[in-house]
Structure 1
Amino acid sequence: MIRVVLDTNVVLSALLFTSGRLAWIRRAWQHKQLLPLVCTETVCELLRVLAYPKFKLTAEERQHLLQDFLPYTEVVELPLPWPTLPRCRDEKDQVFLVITYIGQAEALITGDGDLLAMRNESPVLIVTPEEWESQQSSCPNC
């Protein structure tokens, strides 16, 4: 199983759009091909975003979505203070770099422009979902 960090928008897309372009990510964690790493901060953000009025999800629907994600994850405890890493322009995204680094994940999979802009200075691999999928399909034993 490949340890990865998925940013909140990637998780949301995989959960909410079961036939969408990121549905393969959901199948990958369900079939134990990917092991998403989470921490208190990233789960709290996911909970907050799932409650946005624009998604029109009931508490029961949110619970169901969480039940299709959280059991497939591994919780990583982040140290205090966080390690010194390059700073993300959006400080709320820093946690994704930290958890990828501390959890020794293979990659941070994101579509976030601020995180993607850090690729050259980051000690962790930062890729888009499309880049990850392409890399995995071209090298199935990687």
Structure 2
Amino acid sequence: MKNKRVILDTNLWISYLITNSFTEIDEFIQDGIIILVFSEELLDEFIEVAKRPKLRKFFATKDVESLLTTFNEFAELIAIESQIDVCRDKKDNFLLNLAIDGKADYLVTGDKDLLVLKKIDKTHILTYRELVEKLKGNS
């Protein structure tokens, strides 16, 4: 199972910065099992959240810069054109639009407002653990 197109929500990137414990994702990226799908909107949200004072005490600026380098190297940047408006939390609709325009296989999140949808177009919406189980079970 190669080249699965995956969007990781901001909450997962922040968790990664705090815990540095997503070794499976690192392996999936290095092995070409997943391709990260990003947009300017997701990048902007990540940077804005990472700058919040209550989170800054958990990781260094160099950690954010290192993660941004990873995005640059391993992510495909997609320009969002779709205008889907189905999420009960309207500010999350950009992720659904990214899923459609980026032809993502998976949108990975811990956000219940997104998880309740289960699927948008051809994109399955699931948790980090579900993604790891799915990819390990099929690789």
Q: TM-score, normalised by structure 1?
A: 0.82
C-alpha contact (below 8 Å) 1:6/1:109 kept by paired residues: yes
Give matches, 1:39-50, under 5 Å.
39-50=39-50
2:23, 2:47 → 1: CA distance?
20
Deviations 1:88-111 (A, max 9, x none): 111111111111111111111111
What's 1:96 paired with?
95
Match 1:74 to one of 73, 76, 84: 76
Q: Report the Cα distance in structure 2 between the residues aligned to 1:17 and 1:27, rounded to whole angstroms.
A: 16
Letter in 2 for 1:42: L
**Greater helix share, structure number:** 2
Q: Deviations over 1:6-46 (max 9, x none)?
A: 1111122234322x3x3311332233321111111000001
Deviation at 1:130, TM superposition (A): 1.1
Query: Where does the alignment leave 5 or more consecutive residues of structure 2 unmatched?
Result: none
Distance 1:2 1:131, change over 3 A: same
Distance change in 2, residues 1:61/1:108 (3 Å): closer
Name the counterpart of 1:16.
Answer: 18
Identity across aligned pairs (percent)?
Answer: 28
Report the number of matched residues: 134
Q: Sort the Cα spacing of 1:95 and 1:11 in 2 relative to 1 into closer, same or farther, 3 A.
A: same
Q: Give the match's secondary structure for 1:68.
A: helix
Q: Distance in 2 between matches of 1:70 and 1:50?
A: 17
Residue in 2 aligned with 1:105? Answer: 104
Any gaps of 5 or more consecutive residues in structure 1? Answer: none
Please, what TM-score do these two structures have when normalized by structure 2? 0.83
SS in 1 for 2:45: helix
- 1:86 is displaced (CA, Å) by 5.2
Q: Output the CA distance in 2 between the equivalents of 1:36 and 1:25.
A: 10
2:68 matched to 1:55? no
Structure 1 stretches of 4+ moved >6 Å: none
